[in-house]
Amino acid sequence: MLRGLYTAAAGMITQQRRHDTATQNIANLNTTGYKQVDSVSHAFPDVLIAAMQNGTTKNIGRLNTGVFAEQSVSQFLQGDLIESGKTVDFALSTDLQIVDPATNMPMIFDGSGKHISAEGEVTYKPQAFFTVQDNEGNKLFTRNGKFSVSPTGEVLSVGGFKVLDGNGQPLMLNGPEDRLKVDGQGYLIDNNTGQRSNSKIGISVVTKPMDLVRDGNGVFHVEDPEAAQIRFTDANDNMQVRQGYLENSNVDATQVTVDMNAAFRAYEANQKVIQYYDSSLQKAVNEVGRV
Q: Which amino acid is at 219?
A: V
Say which residues have a Cβ less than 8 Å from residue 227's Cβ, sequence separation at least 6: 208, 211
For range 64-75, the mean pLDDT? 74
For range 230-254, the mean pLDDT? 92
Dist CA 159 CA 219 (whole Å):
9
What percent of the chain clears pLDDT 90, i.e. is strictly above it? 39
pLDDT bracket for residue 70 (50, 70, 90): low
Tens digits of residue pLDDT in 80-97 = 999 998 999 999 999 998
Residue 48 confidence (pLDDT): 67
Instruction: Give the helix, strand, coil percentages of the chain, each rounded to 5.
Output: 25, 35, 40
Tell me the C-alpha to C-alpha distance, in Å, between residue 132 and each of 97, 102, 139, 177. 24, 36, 6, 18
Domain limits, the chain: 2-74+251-288, 81-247
- pTM as predicted: 0.81
Nearest to 201 by CA among 219, 184, 218: 184
Which runs of consecutive H residues, i.e. helices, occur in the chain? Answer: 2-27, 225-228, 253-283
Coil, strand or helix at 249: coil
Query: Concatenated DSSP letters for 139-170?
Result: EEEES--B-EE-TTSBEE-TTSPEEBBTTSSB
Greatest distance between any 2 Cα atoms in the chain: 99
Tens digits of residue pLDDT in 116-134 = 888 888 889 999 999 999 9
